[in-house]
Chain A
Amino acid sequence: MMASSTGRSAWRDNLAELKKPLSPEAVRLEASRCLYCHDAPCIQACPTSIDVPRFIRQLASFDPLGAGKTILEANPLGHSCARVCPVPVLCEGACVYAAWNDEPVRIAGLQRYATDAVHSADALPFDPGPESDLRVAVVGAGPAGVSCATYLRRLGFAVTIFEKRRLPGGLNTFGVAEYKMDRRTSLEELRLLFRLGCSVVTNREVGRDLAPKKLLRDFDAVFLGPGLAGTRDLGILGEDLPGVVDAISFIERVKARRGRGLPSGERVVVVGGGNTAIDAATQSVRTGAKRVILAYRRGLADMPAYDFEVALAKTDGVTLLMNAVPKRVLGLRKAESVEFARTSTKAGRLIESSTELFTLPCDRVIKAIGQRKENALPRAFGVALNGDGTIKTDPDTLRTSRRGVYAGGDAVNGGKEVVNAAADGKRAAWGIHRALRPGVPPPPDNEYWISTL
Chain B
Amino acid sequence: MKRRLAVDLSSDCAGIKSPNPFWLASGPPTNSGEQVMRAFERGWGGAVWKTLGQDPPVVNVTSRYGAIDLGTSKIAGLNNIELITDRPLSVNLKEISQVKKRFPKRAVIASLMVPCERKAWHDIVRKVSDSGSDGLELNFGCPHGMSERGMGAAVGQVPEYVKMVTEFVKEKSSVPVLVKLTPNITDVRVPARAARAGGADGLSLINTINSLMGVDVETMIPKFAVGEKAAHGGYCGPAVKPIALNMLSSIANDPETLGVPLSGIGGISNWSDAVEFMLLGASSVQLCTAVMHHGFRIIDDLNAGLEGWMRRKNFSALTDFVGRAAARVVEWKRLDLHHKTAAVIDPAKCIGCEVCFVACNDGAHQCIDLRPGSRVPRVRARDCVGCNLCALVCPVDGCISMKTVETGLKPLTWEQYAAAGMKGYRLGRRKRRHAS
Given contacts A35-B395, A100-B396, is CB(A41)–CB(B72) below 8 Å? no
Q: Answer yes or no: B421 CB below 8 A from chain A CBs.
A: no
Pick from A28, A31, A37, A60: contact of B353, CB under 8 Å: A37
Name the A residues within 8 Å of B370 (CB-CB).
39
Contact among A39, A97, A100 with B354 in the assembled complex (CB-CB below 8 Å): A39
How far is it, in angstroms, between the C-alpha of A181 and the C-alpha of B387 when the chains are bound?
Answer: 50
A31 and B72 alpha carbons, distance in the complex (Å): 9
When the two chains form their complex, are residues B355 and A100 in contact, meaning their CB atoms are under 8 A apart? no
Query: B333-388: which have CB < 8 Å to A?
Result: 351-355, 357-358, 370, 375
Taking A35-B395, A38-B358 as contacts, is the C-beta distance between A99 and B72 under 8 angstroms?
Answer: no
Closest A residue to B354 using CB positions = A38
Residues of B within 8 A of A29 (CB): 71-72
Q: A96 in the interface, Cβ–Cβ < 8 Å?
A: yes
Tell me, rounded to whole Å, the shortest Cβ–Cβ distance linking A73 to chain B.
Answer: 22
- State whether A97 and B71 are in contact (beta carbons under 8 Å apart), knowing that A35-B395, A38-B357 are contacts in the complex: no
Complex alpha-carbon distance, A414 and B396, angstroms: 41
Within 25-63 of A, Cβ neighbours of B (below 8 Å) are at: 25, 28-29, 31-32, 35-39, 41, 60
CB distance from A57 to the nearest CB of B (A): 12
Q: Give Cα A238–Cα B370 distance, bound, in whole angstroms.
A: 61
How near does chain B come to A42, taking the closest CB pair, in angstroms? 11
Q: Are A28 and B71 in contact (CB under 8 A)?
A: yes
Instruction: With CB as the reference atom, state the residue of chain A lying closest to B393.
Output: A35
Query: Chain B 59-79, CB within 8 Å of chain A: the 1/0 string?
Result: 000000000000110000000
A97 & B351 in contact (Cβ 8 Å cutoff): yes
Residues of B contacting A25 in the complex (Cβ-Cβ under 8 angstroms)? 72
CB distance from A181 to the nearest CB of B (A): 29
Q: Which A residues, 250 to 298, have Cβ-Cβ distances below 8 Å to chain B?
A: none
The interface size of chain A toward B, counting residues with CB under 8 Å, comes to 16
A96-B353 in contact (CB<8A)? yes
**Do A99 and B351 touch (CB < 8 A)?**
yes
Which of B72, B353, B354 has a CB less than 8 Å from the CB of A32?
A: B72
Q: Pick the contact of A96 from B71, B72, B352, B357 — CB < 8 Å? A: B352
Docked-complex contact B72 and A37, CB < 8 angstroms:
no
Docked-complex contact A38 and B355, CB < 8 angstroms? yes
B351 and A100 form a contact (CB under 8 A) = yes
Interface centre among B71, B72, B370 (most CB of A within 10 A): B72
A97 to B396, CA, bound (A): 10
Residues of B within 8 A of A96 (CB): 351-353, 375
A64: shortest Cβ distance to chain B, in Å? 14
Q: How far is the CB of A197 from chain B (nearest CB, A)?
A: 32
A420 to B354, CA, bound (A): 27
Q: Which residues of B contact A36 (CB under 8 A)?
A: 355
A41–B395 CB distance below 8 A: no
Q: How far is the CB of A43 from chain B (nearest CB, A)?
A: 12
CA distance A39 to B71 in the complex (A): 23
**Interface centre among A31, A38, A60, by most B CB within 10 Å?**
A38
Q: B71 to A38, Cβ gap below 8 A?
A: no
| A35 B352 Cβ-Cβ under 8 A | no
Which residue on B lies nearest to A28, using beta carbons? B72
Name B352's contact: one of A28, A32, A41, A60 (CB within 8 Å): A41
In the complex, A100→B395 CA distance in Å?
10
Chain A residues contacting B354 (CB-CB under 8 Å) are 37-39
A263 CB to closest chain B CB (Å) equals 50
B-chain residues with CB within 8 Å of residue A100 when the two chains form the complex = 351, 396
- Which B residue sits closest to A60, measured CB to CB? B71
Q: Which residues of A contact B355 (CB under 8 A)?
A: 35-38
Residues of A78-105 at the interface with B, using a CB-CB cut-off of 8 Å, are 96-97, 99-100
Q: Which residues of A contact B357 (CB under 8 A)?
A: 38
**Cα of A31 to Cα of B352 in the assembled complex, Å:** 19
Quote the shortest CB–CB distance from A36 to chain B (angstroms): 7
Residues of chain B within 8 A of A39, CB atoms compared: 354, 370
Q: Which residues of A contact B (CB under 8 A)?
A: 25, 28-29, 31-32, 35-39, 41, 60, 96-97, 99-100
Interface residues of B (CB under 8 A from A): 71-72, 351-355, 357-358, 370, 375, 395-396
The 6 closest A-B pairs by CB, nearest first: A32-B71, A38-B354, A38-B358, A99-B351, A37-B353, A96-B351
Known pairs A41-B375, A99-B351 / 10 extra A-B pairs, C-beta < 8 Å: A25-B72, A29-B72, A35-B355, A35-B395, A37-B353, A37-B354, A37-B355, A38-B354, A96-B353, A96-B375
18 sample A-B contacts, Cβ–Cβ < 8 Å, listed by A number: A25-B72, A28-B71, A28-B72, A31-B71, A32-B71, A35-B353, A35-B395, A37-B355, A38-B353, A38-B354, A38-B355, A38-B357, A38-B358, A39-B370, A41-B352, A96-B351, A96-B352, A96-B353
